[in-house]
């Protein structure tokens, strides 16, 4: 059975969103749009897969998308088919859950048909994905321990910064489906606040644009050139350790949550714009065509 999605997108009880999404399909070559309705304690999610990776940031920059969480309690995730495919192959549960066929509300006629996540095969890939996270994190923490043994504050601070970047990268992928490497760590943390409000307290806001713990860690890069370690605050080591452990638990919690969601499966949605085309329909059309050819005018 093949499912085709008509371009007249319909999101239940949200005509405004339906209209804006339809307009996007007129402006950009989109492959898929997935929709996850809001729950009691969770905003609605809209996942837009643009055929051209160059359109991702352009779509994301739209004001109504940027402000959607504050104004309409909707979280948008923009990606492209190659990224979605690579992450699914890697076992990233964000795409395994949010890009289920059951959540599909728009599919470009030229796009490859989506299917629901195969639980058995994805379980193996998810395990590899999780093991890779633990393996690389352990290596980064080993570097932290080595510099601690050497009493090198500069190396210690720089190593902790690498661990934080690594944890935040995983949280970005598990909550938003993409990384924001082009932005500084302060900005990346701020982007995660709508998904994980408690993150702000972990890093301690310094001002409207920076976080105290990250600011202190970044000093190591500045002081490394002149070797002036005396200006680094060694009393923050316990704070760094506790903050990283909290980030680690957040990653594990999100992995567990998405794994559970995939296992339970996505509830069936009925959208007015879904049209089912079966093999029997195709056969019937072929028969009718042949009859017309053999029938004299």
Gap between the Cα atoms of 54 and 71, Å rounded: 27
- Give the percent of the chain with pLDDT over 70: 82
Provide the pLDDT confidence category of residue 253 given band limits of 50, 70 and 90. very high
Rank 230-234, 252-256, 288-292 by mean pLDDT and report only the highest.
Answer: 252-256
Provide the pLDDT confidence category of residue 69 given band limits of 50, 70 and 90. confident
> Once rounded to an integer, what is the mean pLDDT over residues 36-45?
87
Q: What is the pLDDT of residue 292?
A: 43
Residue ranges of domains in the chain? 2-115+269-294, 120-258
- Tokens 């104004």 label which residue? 71
Closest CA to 24 of 75, 78, 103, 95: 78
**pLDDT at 39 exceeding the cut of 60:** yes
Indicate the pairing of strand 30-36 with strand 44-50.
antiparallel
Instruction: Dig out the tokens for 7 from the structure.
Output: 């371009």
> Once rounded to an integer, what is the mean pLDDT over residues 207-228?
79
- At residue 152, what are phi and psi to the nearest 5 degrees? -100, 100
From 18-27, 84-93, 145-154, 274-283, the region with the lowest mean pLDDT: 274-283
**pLDDT at 235 exceeding the cut of 60:** yes
CB-based burial, 148-163: b 16+ in 10 Å, e otherwise = eeeeebbbbbbbbbeb
Q: Are the C-beta atoms of 206 and 212 separated by less than 8 Å?
A: yes
Q: What is the pLDDT of residue 223?
A: 67
**pLDDT at 30 exceeding the cut of 70:** yes
Between these two residues, 203 and 223, which has the higher pLDDT value? 203
| Domain 120-258 in CATH 1.20.120 | yes
- Tokens 């190659």 label which residue? 82
- At 143-190, the pLDDT tens digits run 999 998 988 888 888 899 999 999 999 999 999 999 999 999 999 999
Closest CA to 106 of 165, 214, 21, 173: 21
Please provide the DSSP assignment of 77-103 as one string: EEE-HHHHHHHHHHT-HHHHHHT-GGG
Provide the pLDDT confidence category of residue 36 given band limits of 50, 70 and 90. very high
- At 71-108, the pLDDT tens digits run 678 999 999 999 999 999 999 999 999 999 989 999 99
Q: What is the pLDDT of residue 287?
A: 39
**pLDDT at 257 exceeding the cut of 70:** yes
Instruction: Dig out the tokens for 209 from the structure.
Output: 């644009």
- Total-model pTM: 0.83
What does the mean pLDDT of the chain come to? 84
**pLDDT at 14 exceeding the cut of 80:** no
The runs of H, that is alpha helices, within 28-118 are 56-60, 63-66, 68-72, 81-90, 93-98
Q: Are the C-beta atoms of 51 and 81 separated by less than 8 Å?
A: yes
Helix 185-192 and helix 153-175, axial crossing angle in degrees, nearest 10: 40
- Give the percent of the chain with pLDDT over 90: 57
Gap between the Cα atoms of 51 and 112, Å rounded: 11
**pLDDT at 5 exceeding the cut of 60:** no
**pLDDT at 286 exceeding the cut of 60:** no
Gap between the Cα atoms of 260 and 223, Å rounded: 45
> Once rounded to an integer, what is the mean pLDDT over residues 106-118?
86
Gap between the Cα atoms of 34 and 267, Å rounded: 13
**pLDDT at 273 exceeding the cut of 50:** no
Indicate the pairing of strand 104-107 with strand 274-277.
unpaired
- At residue 97, what are phi and psi to the nearest 5 degrees? -95, -55
Between these two residues, 154 and 240, which has the higher pLDDT value? 240
């Amino acid at each position: 059975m093949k499912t085709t999605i008509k371009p007249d997108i319909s999101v239940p009880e949200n005509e405004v969103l339906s209209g804006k999404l339809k307009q996007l399909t007129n402006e950009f070559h989109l492959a898929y749009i997935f929709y996850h309705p809001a729950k009691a304690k969770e905003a609605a999610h809209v996942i837009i897969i643009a055929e051209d990776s160059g359109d991702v940031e352009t779509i994301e920059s739209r004001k109504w998308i940027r402000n959607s969480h504050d104004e309409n309690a909707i979280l948008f995730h923009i990606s492209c088919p190659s990224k979605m495919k690579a992450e699914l192959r890697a076992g990233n549960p964000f795409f395994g859950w949010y890009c289920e066929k059951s959540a599909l509300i728009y599919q470009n006629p030229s796009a490859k048909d989506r299917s629901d996540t195969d639980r058995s095969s994805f379980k193996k890939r998810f395990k590899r994905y999780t093991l890779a996270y633990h393996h690389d994190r352990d290596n980064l923490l080993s570097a932290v321990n080595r510099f601690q043994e050497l009493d090198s504050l500069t190396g210690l601070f720089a190593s902790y910064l690498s661990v934080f970047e690594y944890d935040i990268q995983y949280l970005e992928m598990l909550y938003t489906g993409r990384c924001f490497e082009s932005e500084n760590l302060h900005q990346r943390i701020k982007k995660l606040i709508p998904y994980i409000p408690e993150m702000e307290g972990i890093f301690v806001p310094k001002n409207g644009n920076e976080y105290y713990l990250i600011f202190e860690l970044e000093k190591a890069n500045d002081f490394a050139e002149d070797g002036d370690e005396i200006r680094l605050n060694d009393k923050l080591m316990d704070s760094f350790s506790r903050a990283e452990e909290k980030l680690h638990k957040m990653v594990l919690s999100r992995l567990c949550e998405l794994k559970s969601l995939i296992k339970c499966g996505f509830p069936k949605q009925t959208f007015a714009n879904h049209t089912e085309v079966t093999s029997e329909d195709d056969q019937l059309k072929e028969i009718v065509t042949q009859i017309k050819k053999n029938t004299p005018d």
